[in-house]
Amino acid sequence: MHFSRRGLALLPLFISGVLTDYLTPTYPAPIDLSGDTSFVAASWRNLSSTFDRYLKDEQSSASKSLSGVENVTFSVGMFSLHDPAATKLQYHYTAPEIANAKQGTNKVDGDSIYRVASVSKLITTFAGLVELTEEDWNRPLIQIIPGLGAYSRAYPQALNSLYITQWDKITPWALATQQSGIATVGWPVSDLAVILAAAVAEGLDGVDEPTSYGLPPVNVSALGPCATKYLKDPTNTFCPSPEGIEAIDGLPPNFLPWTTPAYSDEGFMLLGIAISNLTGKPLSAVYRDAVFEPLGMKSSNDTHPTGKAELARSVISGDPAANFALETGFTTPSGGILSTINDLSKLGIGIMNNTLLTAETTRKWMKPQSHTASLSYSIGGGWEIHRYVHPATGKVTDLYTKLGDSGFYGGALVLIPQYDAGFTMLNAYSNQTIRSPAAILILDHVTDAILPALEAQAAAEARANYVGTYVSTEETLNASVTISFNESSVPGIISGLSVTAWTFNGTDILEGPLFNGIKPRLEPSIPKQTPDGLPGQVAFQASHQVQMLTYRAAMDVPDSGVVGTWTGFYATNGDFVYTDSTRYGGVGLNMFVFDVDGEGRATACSPAIDRVTLRRRVDD
């Protein structure tokens, strides 16, 4: 890495968007999401109006992009680590199916109980993080779940070693990060041999023997007890442990462990068994003791409600016995939990607030563990990580999510660490073909409404809290720093805080050889560590580095000398490479520390290399 840092900073750019080179936010997280003047509250009102126009005006005056949503009952709401009132930003719609339902609620709100489907996977992982040790997470499954590896060798396909899962290489963490390589979903009801045999036995019209589809005959009884049980009673779609363990063990892997992320419901079923075995407690007790009770999630459970009061606020779509009141048993860790958006908001706040895990554990957990083939989608421990690109700037914001989508129910929990905020959504409709894409449309509209608003609110608060001139209170010291907004001279910048004047002992530091006339942008590096309402300190890095959208943007810059992926690396990752490569007296040239009051307003600035505290002028 021998490129000149100064040379890179002065590359001429002709692009309209930016991308911060750190995964830290452009500004400190916003504090006011719900106030009358908040951009977030205003955007939520606009979003609600869009939903109202479509859903209440009979689809006559709103975007066709909401087509189908009118059939789906849903609840959506925000939450914030710093603004408790943000949970009041909610929208609820009761579709005709639920409005006319004979059981459960006929009008949904924040306390309505839905099935959360695969959001259960995230809750299972979180419970495991609370209860298990690092050593537990990395034990081979054959040491945790008795019988694994023995059943598979009894199945016909075991004659070929490629059909045998390497359980001695798979750990609970491999399951949680979708890197086990084991079978995906739905055993035994996803097996055509079992489905066709049951349908033929029932004499269903339009269903023929497998041979009519060009398939060889299969001895279903050789596929294990779950298949045999389903064949006898097709309404028995779930297989309890240990029969479920045997059924999964008998399926060949899709990939070798740790090869690629590949979605697996079965993996989370096994993860639930592993957590239960390692803790010595039923999984229901793990959920209750590790997550639900500590976070006050009083409406959440791994079994369906039976009490009159809870049933009265339950969203019961379609046949209750086959859907809402289904006994999920062995499959619960993958998709059997029920909750409300108010409870899921408590979960999101509890995660971001490090209520049950240490801050270090949370930060380690909320990182990608593997990429997918998509540049905009990565996988974590229970997380699905969507990379949102802001349309106005090209900035990337990572959304730590888990989407649920199964049968008549779906939902999502979305955490946005850059803003210390997030949102939840739950939905229901007895037609999955309509419900599933409609739910995605809802998520798209919410995301497109609040992400730009969160950025705008963070920018507005940063401007009010930091812009100004900070001066020495020592009469013998001529030192000052001016922080401005949208005045950086770093190429590619559209918006942000910047250092536009900096003197020490009467010397203009920015015009000298350290910065060569560049007015650096400021990027948050270490947030305030003290609780809200108390004063503290915030650290920033003053970056000289150019900002670019992508490698392709770098390669398209005329006369830049950037001609390919490798040179593009330097042009788009300057901050990553050169964070504090210039130091003076043991501290980085680029480090700025601000004292802030309990409201987040800066009162003083300390350029680290100057070793002096400069007070903010009272008129700024």
Q: Does residue 152 fall inside a structural domain?
A: no
Tell me, what's the pLDDT at 566?
Answer: 66
Q: How many CB atoms lie within 10 A of CB 147?
A: 13
373-383: b (≥16 Cβ within 10 Å) or e: eeeeebbbbbb
User: 506 lies in which domain range?
Assistant: 5-30+467-616
Q: Does residue 319 fall inside a structural domain?
A: no
List pLDDT tens digits, range 513-535: 988 899 999 999 999 999 999 99
Residues of the chain with pLDDT under 50: 1-20, 551-555, 557
Q: Does residue 387 fall inside a structural domain?
A: no
Q: Does residue 250 fall inside a structural domain?
A: no
Tell me, what's the pLDDT at 157?
Answer: 57
Tell me, what's the pLDDT at 158?
Answer: 53
Helix/strand/coil for 445: helix
Inter-helix orientation angle 341-352/119-131, to 10°: 40
Q: Does residue 235 fall inside a structural domain?
A: no
Tell me, what's the pLDDT at 571?
Answer: 63
Tokens at residue 154, please? 């009894």
Alpha-carbon Rg of the chain, whole angstroms?
Answer: 28
Q: Does residue 564 fall inside a structural domain?
A: yes
How many folded domains does the chain comprise?
A: 1
Tell me, what's the pLDDT at 170?
Answer: 96
Pairing of strands 587-588, 114-115: unpaired
Q: Which residues contact 296 (CB under 8 A, 6 or more apart)?
A: 346
Dist. CA 48–CA 44, nearest whole Å: 6
The average confidence (pLDDT) of the chain is 87
Tokens at residue 65, please? 């992009």
Q: Does residue 570 fall inside a structural domain?
A: yes
Annotate 373-395 with three-state secondary structure: CCCCEEECCCCEEEEEECCCCCC
Tell me, what's the pLDDT at 327?
Answer: 82
Q: Does residue 515 fall inside a structural domain?
A: yes
Q: Which amino acid is at 67?
A: S
Tell me, what's the pLDDT at 56?
Answer: 83
